[in-house]
Amino acid sequence: QLQADTYFTRPYTSQDKGTVENRIGVIRRFFPKGMDLRTVSEERITTVEQYLNFRPVRKFDYLNPIQQTLKYRSVALVT
């Protein structure tokens, strides 16, 4: 119905899953397992989304995902 792309990790390839599992762990800090997400307000979801998108990541030399994306977009626009 959503016509959204879906991606799956390769079977038995743990390096594909580490980031996903880490991100799920971070999200679970805000929304514990078993919580009915239908009861969560849009405002709360937006707050958590902003926290995740502006959180520095060691893999990106401590840039946040937004900064990392903009860095590569600016390179693509120049070339």
79 in a structural domain: no
Q: For residue range 2-55, what is the model confidence (pLDDT) as tens digits?
A: 888 887 777 777 677 777 788 888 999 999 999 999 999 999 999 999 998 899
CA–CA dist 31, 68 (Å, integer): 26
CA–CA dist 75, 77 (Å, integer): 5
Contact, 42 vs 50, CB < 8 A? no
* The model's pTM: 0.62
Count the domains in the chain: 1
Number of alpha helices (DSSP H) and beta strands (DSSP E) in the chain: 3, 0
64 in a structural domain: yes
Contact, 63 vs 56, CB < 8 A? yes
38 in a structural domain: yes
Cα angle vertex 42, ends 23, 64, to 5°? 35
